[in-house]
């Protein structure tokens, strides 16, 4: 074995930059070597959460997420209580996106020397508040030292009836594409915080101008997982044919469903729900609010598909917009403007920091 390893290490390999593959291309490349070896693994890599066998009728759902200082959050303006709350939201949203109910989370931290005990107290107050609100238990975690800043890892565990688990790969032609809440608000909240940080960086006793945009700040700093939607779907006995949460942007999530389901999609621009404050701040900052809605991410709303015949039942639930429908793969993935023009849907993404 040692000789084989040494032989492999001597081979000259070309270098591929991660940027050439992109986030999802990298994930596909790294995980393509894994297959299920255990009978208890129902579904592994490739969705919001892994699906494991729990009993004859129930499945266990498991997901893991990371948040890295300087990439996913900036401690200059991110209160530790809100950071703890958002960490839990990020974890359980993946369980919700499988049409499941989250039950437990673990929180692991890599902590730099600049972090105080008081900061961690506040962080875990936020964790505790989010966990109590969502009805989940914090059952463990780990801590380690860090020389590069704060890193947070969240593992969420949940359950669902096997017949009610919604994967990304179940969308069918003519299915309705549904969206909860609105999109773009979280990204505009981030842009507002970044603007005030830039403007007030050297100002003693700074007074940021947040008035009128409190909703946007809450959507970025303290987003709420949509477990209420899963409860409503259960009450109405509706099982989405596919589902995903809005963590990387609406366009990206539509494309993920299309890739997994091997289908196309038509999204109607005028049907995309955008909050009033999102439009107002976008105008103020000369940003296209539609671009923010399509690519902003971190809204943690739910995007899902249902058969066409469920239209009235979905509309009766409230807080859900039908923004398009699934097509054949040959028809592509397009954004349809009010004048009927079709634009190829692309996941541009925004660099958070």
Residue 1 in this model has a pLDDT that exceeds 60: no
Helix H segments across the chain?
2-10, 18-31, 80-96, 117-134, 185-199, 214-221, 227-235, 250-261, 276-284, 289-295, 311-317
CA atoms within 13 A on the CB side of 288: 5
Distance CA 125, CA 131 (A): 10
Listed in sequence order, the residues at least 6 apart from 281 whose beta carbon sits closer than 8 Å to its beta carbon are: 188, 191, 192, 213, 216, 287
Query: Quick check: 264 and 333 in contact, CB under 8 A?
Result: yes
pLDDT of 41 over the 90 cut: no
* Distance between CA atoms of residues 49 and 264, nearest Å: 23
Q: Region 281-292: what's the mean pLDDT?
A: 97
- At residue 309's C-alpha, the angle toward residues 176 and 321, to 5°, is 40
Compute the average pLDDT of residues 156-178: 98
Percent of the chain residues past pLDDT 70, beyond the cut: 93
pLDDT value, residue 351: 43
pLDDT at 107 over 50: yes
Residue pLDDT, tens place only, 206-258: 788 899 999 999 999 999 999 999 999 999 999 999 999 999 999 999 999 99
- pLDDT value at 352 more than 50: no
Q: Can you say whether the dihedral through the CA atoms of 157, 163, 164, 166 is positive or negative? A: positive
Say if residue 157's pLDDT is above 80: yes
Residues 257 and 181: beta-carbon distance below 8 Å: no
Sorted by sequence, the CB contacts under 8 Å of residue 154 that are 6+ apart come out as 64, 65, 66, 67, 87, 88, 90, 91, 105, 106, 107, 108
User: Out of 38-47, 79-88, 264-273, which region has the weakest mean confidence (pLDDT)?
Assistant: 38-47
The model's confidence at residue 7, banded by pLDDT at 50, 70 and 90, is: low
Poorest-pLDDT segment among 7-11, 53-57, 177-181, 315-319: 7-11
SS3 45: coil
Q: Give the pLDDT of residue 11.
A: 56
pTM for the whole structure:
0.90
Length of the chain, in residues: 353
SS percent in the chain: helix, strand, coil, step 5: 40, 25, 35
Instruction: Quote the pLDDT of residue 234.
Output: 96
Q: CA-CA distance, 61 to 156, in Å (whole number)? A: 8
| Two structure tokens written together for 237 | 């006995």
In the chain, what are the domains? 2-164 (3.30.1330.10), 168-344 (3.90.650.10)
Q: Which two tokens stand for residue 90?
A: 């990020």
Question: DSSP assignment of 220-277, as one string?
Answer: HHS----HHHHHHHHHTT---SEEEE-SS-HHHHHHHHHHHHT-EEEEEGGGS---HH
């Amino acid at each position: 074995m040692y000789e084989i390893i040494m032989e492999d290490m001597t081979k000259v390999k070309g270098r591929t930059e991660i940027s050439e593959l992109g986030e999802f291309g990298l994930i596909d490349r790294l995980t393509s070597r894994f297959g299920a070896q255990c009978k208890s693994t129902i579904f592994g890599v490739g969705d919001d959460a892994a699906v494991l066998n729990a009993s004859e009728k129930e499945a266990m759902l498991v997901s893991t997420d990371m948040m890295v200082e300087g990439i996913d959050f900036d401690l200059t303006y991110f209160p530790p209580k809100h950071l703890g709350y958002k960490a839990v939201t990020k974890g359980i949203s993946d369980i919700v996106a499988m049409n499941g109910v989250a039950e437990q989370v673990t929180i692991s931290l890599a902590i730099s020397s600049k972090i105080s005990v008081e900061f961690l107290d506040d962080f875990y107050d936020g964790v505790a508040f989010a966990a109590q609100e969502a009805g989940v238990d914090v059952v463990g975690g780990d801590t380690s030292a860090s020389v590069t800043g704060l890193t947070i890892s969240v593992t969420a565990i949940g359950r669902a009836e096997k017949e009610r688990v919604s994967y990304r790969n179940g969308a069918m032609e003519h299915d309705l594409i549904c969206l909860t809440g609105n999109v773009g608000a979280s990204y505009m909240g981030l842009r507002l915080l970044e603007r005030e940080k830039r403007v007030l960086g050297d100002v003693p006793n700074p007074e940021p101008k947040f008035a009128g945009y409190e909703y946007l700040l809450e959507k970025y700093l303290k987003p709420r997982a949509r477990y209420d939607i899963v409860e409503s779907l259960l009450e109405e006995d509706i099982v989405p044919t596919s589902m995903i949460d809005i963590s990387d942007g609406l366009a990206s999530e539509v494309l993920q469903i299309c890739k997994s389901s091997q289908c196309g999609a038509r999204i109607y621009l005028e049907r995309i729900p955008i909050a009033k404050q999102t439009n107002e701040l976008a105008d103020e900052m000369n940003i296209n609010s539609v671009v923010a809605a399509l690519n902003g991410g971190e809204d943690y709303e739910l995007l899902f598909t249902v058969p066409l015949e469920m239209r009235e039942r979905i509309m009766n639930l409230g807080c859900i917009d039908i923004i398009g429908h699934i097509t054949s793969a040959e028809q592509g993935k397009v954004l349809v403007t009010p004048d009927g023009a079709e634009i190829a849907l692309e996941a541009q993404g925004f660099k958070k920091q």
